[in-house]
Amino acid sequence: MYERLAEHWWDPRGPFVMLHWLAAARARLVPRGPGDAVLVDLGCGAGLLAPHVHGYHHIGVDLSREALRQAGKRGVSTIEADVLAVPLPDGCADVVVAGEILEHVPDLTGAVAEACRVLRPGGLLVLDTLADTALCRFVAVVLAERVGLAPRGVHDPALFVDRNALVSQCARHGVHLVLRGIRPSLPDLLAWSTHRGRPVRMVPTTTTAVLFQGAGRKKG
């Protein structure tokens, strides 16, 4: 599906618009790197994160060849691979990012294990994804598709992420993951609904039951 919709990745009014807002919000959890640090972006898509992170050698891993081609144009070093079998050595990354990918992978345990494997001790894991709740199924599928914030059929709710399982899988690999809920700013969303094209800020919210971010450092 991502391959089919690939022409829309960088369209600020297109079906991936919310991914642009999420990339900006995700990048706020990534400190500026020293220049030679390595950031591995799992499920990087077309590299929407690239304009927002600085001071890293940005390596993107994805299955979609066309998305990777576009990410390459944004300065991302690309690897065509499954996030469940990342062809990178253990502990090679100072930062591992998994933005809006875990809800597309049928093996959460395997994906978390790979993310934590490539992360060096002391390195930072940053992610965002969708929670396995009835509220999320309604908001992220029914509502988001209806208002054009998600392409139709892009999400399989059966793959939405169990937050307790995610936190405990990360802990097994030495990463103490802290979660926080996020949502689009309502005034921004209102403005966007009349003048599409303006970016919408993602803001913290009290619940992690829909869309949430996670961040944590690996012990060591």
Ligand X SMILES: C[S@@+](CC[C@H](N)C(=O)[O-])C[C@H]1O[C@@H](n2cnc3c(N)ncnc32)[C@H](O)[C@@H]1O
Which residues contact ligand X by CB under 6 A?
2, 19, 22-23, 43-45, 48, 62-64, 67, 82-84, 99-101, 104-105
Distance CA 206, CA 212 (A): 10
Q: Which CB sits closer to ligand X, 18 or 175? A: 18
- Closest-CB residue for ligand X? 45
Cβ proximity of 84 and 61 under 8 Å: no
Distance CA 29, CA 2 (A): 25
- What is the closest distance, in whole angstroms, from the C-beta atom of residue 204 to ligand X in the complex? 19
Cβ proximity of 184 and 17 under 8 Å: no
- What is the closest distance, in whole angstroms, from the C-beta atom of residue 165 to ligand X in the complex? 18
Q: Which CB sits closer to ligand X, 2 or 212? A: 2
- What is the closest distance, in whole angstroms, from the C-beta atom of residue 3 to ligand X in the complex? 7
- What is the closest distance, in whole angstroms, from the C-beta atom of residue 220 to ligand X in the complex? 26
Cβ proximity of 173 and 110 under 8 Å: no
Beta bridge partners of 57: 38
Q: Which CB sits closer to ligand X, 40 or 177? A: 40
Q: Which CB sits closer to ligand X, 54 or 219? A: 54
Helix (H, G, I), strand (E, B) or coil at 5: coil
